[in-house]
Structure 1
Amino acid sequence: MSHRLQGQDWLTASATRAVMAALTAAGGADCARFVGGCVRNALIGAPIDDIDIATTLTPDAVVAALRVARLRSVPTGIEHGTVTAISEHQPFEITTLRRDVSTDGRRATVAFTTDWAEDAGRRDFRLNALYADADGVILDPTGQGYDDALAGRIVFVGEAEGRIREDYLRILRFYRFYAWYGRGAPDVAAVAACAALAEGVTQLSAERVSKELLKLLAAPDPRPAVRLMAEAGVLGRVLPPTDLALFEAMTEISPDPVLRLSALLPADPAKAAEVARRLRLSNAQRFRLVEAVAAEATTTQTAPEGRAVIYRDGRQAFEDRVMRAWAAGGESEDAHRLLVLAKDWSQPTLPVGGRDLARLGLKPGPETGRVLKAFEAGWIADDFPDHGHEERLRALLPPA
């Protein structure tokens, strides 16, 4: 029995039709099929982020076909068989069917093929080895991908350990896909293979690891997957040892993957900085992780205390620390009060400067910095008053 994708606007959109028409004009009716995430997500009713197309055409033939159809092509990964078509300003990733020639656990040497079963056989999970033709008719070379997608089963194509040895990133992808699409108990063979080969994740590049980890943590509820990672010894090869309790609680109160990552780290800025360096996170992500754990916070702070932290350390750091305190057992009402404070308070700038001191007779020099620093400390401690600045400065001036 054949199945067909229903009610998919992207499938019938003119931009999509133009790309498929260009390919079929060059290679025939069965030379191009939609593949992977767009088919899987359309089948289960999840959002479609990208439209990927598999084709029997070689990359050069794809480029030529797009040129004839007056569509722009971008050689985004042409050495691996991938060309991106631009149709009505929308990208479509087109990849020639492939088979693995050799693998080393990090990368594969591939050869192009025209065999759809070979292409399906090198994919990671059966629910990702689904194809659909231009009319939305689903093709399932493994014979089980369709049922897996509907049932929420994340099962490797073929033998699990063999798939993982080809690319150890598939360990992290298993947990990521289980977090996003898995339902019920995880596949026993997959869990065992990931545990047995957990050391392989240490061979992966930092960028690949951090990308998968943050995608996993962005899932609506990544807790079951993270627990599996910890039990298999995978989490401990990616992050320092930590108690999962804070992470479990944080997942319930925030969908932010960076904040959830901070909850998987100990309250140690040096360790947070080391994790960020090792994972090669962006400067903004690194700064945020370090600041989130840099100081212990409570949800019982007063408004003046909260404003002082926001002024000194920034709004994001304050909010992240409040969220950590909330996850650690703080009262939700108090946390909400402080988060509203952070959102609504307009942070003032220091109301005095060197010119004000010069006007009061203080000559420029080191003393200027000392007086301004002392003024600022008192101004913060008194909750940023908007008056009496000259009197405060006079009181701080050295004796004449």
Structure 2
Amino acid sequence: MKTAAPVFDALEAKGGPGCARFVGGCVRNALIGQPVGDLDIATILTPDQVTQALVAAGLKAVPTGIDHGTITAVAGGQPFEITTLRRDVATDGRRAVVAFTQDWSEDAQRRDFNLNAVYCDREGNLFDPTGQGVADAQAGRIVFVGDAATRIEEDSLRILRFFRFLAWYGKGEPDAAAVAACTAGKGLLKNLAAERVAKELLKLLAAYDPRPALALMAQTGVLAELLPAAQDLSAFNAMIEFEVDQLFTNDPVLRLATLVPNDQIGAGKAAEALRLSNDQKERLIQAMGKTPRITSWMSPRESRRAVYQIGVGTFSDRIKLAWANAGRTGATHQWRGLLALAESWTPPPFPLTGQDVINSGVPKGPMVGLVLREVEDWWIDHDFIDDKFSAIEKLKAVAQGMAY
């Protein structure tokens, strides 16, 4: 947090010592010994005053969330979100109208969970307006600030945030009041922008082991509100076990693939409903493809052919999904072998070009592509033979047999 010194210097030159404090995730993670990512700062200064202070200190000020009192400072190439203390004036479950305040307790009361409502000054002194934030963070309790139902009425995305924080930081039995409020308010999720839901859901799925949180989401009916096809979590659970056993990086998109319909049309519709990015949508759709058929008993030759046709990424996704859907029962050695082959084999480039086809006597036009594809199919069938001379001989034979 020492990197924030120039920002604090700038703010305190305007508002005096103590006018700004770290807040939220950086404080929470520091308390529990987790890596600290974004450094968020709360201040009694208004956005205009924050901007003036930063500019006066020669720092860049970007109005990233000016309507909600947020200015992003850039110091040493690092961004710092600075938000004026706020209190809610009106809320509709999706967005809030806020007013600025200089009361740290008022600001804390509008935050979601106690463990996210702890402040820390630049000297490391903690301020815990709810009186429970530090203890909750250290104990892994995800408890709403004040009344859980009220917090959810203010912003129903907090239902998903509850399960996300439960997946990342929760320990022991979930807070009963929070679970009850999430269950009662789950119908409000349909009013949220799909992009907000998808962002929160993918963050949840990126946790090291989100299985307990997903099981509780299913039990409360929250998961069905988001993903109606997620009736059975066995494939999801198997995918987590697979990633943990293989020491793979947590893959939220592939985990999501176990929760959407197991066909390309259904997966595409689920991706559209969540407003996933084009890349994420395309990955889900391709992962559900059935051609070429992926089996645990594929020969190395068949595997290389599949990797060449659909790419190593899609091939690996389909292997992992097939393994997960099979419940990881049996054939473990074969599945691992297929993954190892895909990751270690680099598909060679096809040795011929359209010009080679033309040089063989085929006139320019659609026939060039047809001849080239037939020779490429032969080359693949011969396991990517590393012999351009043989490919050219095959080209000549095909060209001679074609009627132009």
TM-score with structure 1 setting the length: 0.93
Listed as ranges, the matches of 1:333-348 within 5 Å are: 333-348=333-348
Q: Does 1:305 align with 2:305?
A: no
Structure 2 equivalent of residue 57 of structure 1? 45
> Structure 1 CA distance, aligned partners of 2:9 and 2:358?
75
1:298, 1:185 → 2: CA distance?
40
* Range with greater deviation from structure 2 (38-47 or 281-290): 281-290
In the TM superposition, residue 359 of structure 1 has moved relative to its aligned partner by 2.9
Deviations 1:328-360 (A, max 9, x none): 225332222222211221212222233333333
Q: Distance in 1 between matches of 2:289 and 2:200?
A: 26
Question: Matches of 1:285 and 1:310 in 2, distance apart?
Answer: 20
- Pick from 22, 29, 47 the counterpart of residue 17 of structure 2: 29
**Per-residue displacement from partner, 1:273-318 (whole Å, max 9, x unpaired)?**
1111222212211111111111252232211111111111111100
Give the match for residue 72 of structure 2. 84
Letter of the 2:318 counterpart: R
Aligned: 1:148 with 2:136:
yes
Pairing of 1:77-156 with structure 2 (within 5 A): 77-156=65-144
Name the structure 2 match of 1:277. 272
Deviates more, 1:369-378 or 1:390-399: 390-399
Question: In structure 1, what is the equivalent of residue 196 of structure 2?
Answer: 208
Change (3 A) 1:399 1:117: closer
Kindly provide the amino acid, as one letter, of the partner of residue 123 in structure 2. Answer: D
Aligned residue in 1 for 2:247? none
Distance of 2:238 and 2:140 partners within structure 1: 25
1:206-229 deviations in Å (ceiling 9; x for gaps)? 111111111111100011111111
In structure 1, runs of 5+ residues without a counterpart are 1-9
2:366 & 2:66 partners in 1: Cα distance? 61
Number of aligned pairs? 388
Please say which of residues 368-377 and 157-166 is displaced more in the overlay: 368-377
Q: Which residue identity does 1:394 align to in structure 2?
A: K
Q: Residue type matched to 1:275 in 2? A: A
Structure 1 residues 350 and 16: alpha-carbon distance in aligned structure 2, compared to 1, 3 A threshold: same
CA distance in 2, matches of 1:170, 1:399: 66
Q: Comparing 234-243 with 103-112, which one deviates more in the overlay?
A: 234-243
List per-residue Cα deviations over 1:142-190 (Å, max 9, x = no partner): 1111110011000001111110010010011000000000001111111
Give the drift of 1:365.
3.7
Between stretches 177-186 and 66-75, larger displacement belongs to 66-75
2:396 paired with 1:394: yes
In structure 1, what is the Cα distance between the partners aligned to 2:107 and 2:366?
Answer: 71
Q: Equivalent residue of 2:276, what SS?
A: coil
**Following TM superposition, by how much is the alpha carbon of 1:45 offset from its aligned partner in structure 2, in angstroms?**
0.3
Deviation at 1:72, TM superposition (A): 1.8
- RMSD of equivalent CA atoms: 1.6
Tell me how far apart the structure 2 counterparts of residues 365 and 62 of structure 1 sit (CA, whole Å).
65
Equivalent in the alignment of 2:385: 385
1:325 aligns with 2:288: no
1:261 maps to which of 243, 249, 256: 256
Q: SS in structure 1 opposite 2:168?
A: helix
Give structure 2 stretches of 5+ with no counterpart.
244-249
Amino acid at match of 1:341: L
1:250 is matched with which residue: 220, 224, 239? 239
Indicate the SS of the match to 2:90: strand
- Paired AA for residue 353 in structure 1: T
User: Secondary structure of the residue that 2:341 maps to in structure 1?
Assistant: helix
Q: Provide the C-alpha distance between the structure 1 equivalents of 2:205 and 2:168, rounded to a whole number of angstroms.
A: 10
Q: Distance in 2 between matches of 1:277 and 1:375?
A: 39
**TM-score w.r.t. length of structure 2:** 0.92
Q: Which whole-Å deviations, capped at 9, do the CAs of 1:23-70 have from their partners, x for residues lacking one?
A: 222212232111111111000001101111111110111111122222
AA partner of residue 249 (structure 1):
A
Q: Which residue of 1 aligns with 2:313?
A: 316
1:145 and 1:153 mapped to 2: Cα distance? 9
Q: Which secondary structure state, in structure 2, belongs to the residue aligned with residue 197 of structure 1?
A: helix
Q: Provide the secondary structure at the position in 2 that maps to 1:211.
A: helix
Cα shift at 1:399: 6.1
Deviations 1:67-93 (A, max 9, x none): 222222111111210111112222111
Alignment pair present for 1:39 and 2:27: yes
Q: How does 1:145-184 map to 2 (within 5 A)?
A: 145-184=133-172
Question: Is the deviation greater in 338-347 or in 100-109?
Answer: 338-347
Matched residues in 2 for 1:361 and 1:22: separation?
75
